[in-house]
Amino acid sequence: MTLEIDVVCLFPAMLEGPLSESIPGRIRERGLAEIRIHDLRRWGLGRHRSVDDAPYGGGAGMVLRPEPVAAALDELRRAESTVVLLDPGGEVFRQARAADLATRPHLILVCPRYEGVDERIRDLVDLELSIGDYVLTGGELAALVVVDAVTRLLPGAIDDASTVEESFSAGLLEYPQYTRPAEFRGAGVPDILVSGHHAAVRRWRHDAAVARTKARRPDLLPPEE
Ligand code: ADE
């Protein structure tokens, strides 16, 4: 099955390059995902294809008007679509949400610019997502993050062993990895990794992932009894 993704934004070039490179590029070429990037100005108002205006009540910056977004969704939305607004006030985007979105047939990602969006735009979408507690100049980079994280989970997108390994250590930070050389600037490689004992390696990796998560991101672990 092909995951269809429509991205509606004001700077399509910010997405086109990155989504044509490397693994995302291959995912598209192989037809696992069909990604279309649209310029919101296509649905802009008047001769200047305007999409924003000054905020009622005054204040700095411009606010995205609802009509262009509504017109875009009227054209792109289908019964099975999930419409996502990228917004710093949205649900914080996590792996579980990426996995959920990877099972949907059609995503529409709406990327605002400017100081914010007219509040009535929120009524037009199914979900608001933030990629973290910082403010970007617009939703394009956030949409890239979401598309990348979602499409790599599509069946056949990457080596299946990688995603199986991830689910084994779900919710934990990655265990320490080593490759050649066996010694680098005085630092060696843990003996267990060259021992050939697969079960022991697996246990070591799991324990190391738990220890690292405890040390760096205790917030990811379930509360202790
Ligand atoms: N737009 C601006 N900042 C954002 C963020 N952190 N996440 C999603 N969209 C945004």
Q: What percent of the chain has pLDDT over 70?
A: 97
- Is residue 158 included in any domain, yes or no? no
Buried residues in 23-41 as b, exposed as e (16+ CB within 10 A): ebeebbeeebbebebbbbe
Does 224 have pLDDT greater than 90?
A: no
Ligand 1 pocket test target in 111, 115, 131 with most atoms within 8 Å of CB = 131
Ligand 1 pocket test target in 8, 64, 84, 87 with most atoms within 8 Å of CB = 87
**Domain containing 210 — which CATH number?**
1.10.1270.20
Claim to verify: residue 47 and residue 146 sit in the same structural domain: yes
Domain that holds residue 213: 165-220
Ligand 1 proximal residues by C-beta, below 6 Å: 86-88, 130-132, 134-136, 139, 142
Chain CA centroid to CA 224, Å = 30
- Is residue 71 included in any domain, yes or no? yes
Mean pLDDT of 129-138: 96
CA atoms of 22 and 198, how far apart (whole Å): 31
Under the banding of pLDDT at 50, 70 and 90, the label for residue 168 is low
Claim to verify: residue 14 and residue 95 sit in the same structural domain: yes
Claim to verify: residue 177 and residue 74 sit in the same structural domain: no
Ligand 1, closest atom to CA 135? 3
Ligand 1, closest atom to CA 86? 9
- Is residue 160 included in any domain, yes or no? no
pTM of this prediction? 0.94
The first and second tokens of residue 119, run together, are 């509040």
What pLDDT was estimated at residue 115? 82
CA atoms of 33 and 171, how far apart (whole Å): 26
Does 55 have pLDDT greater than 80?
A: yes
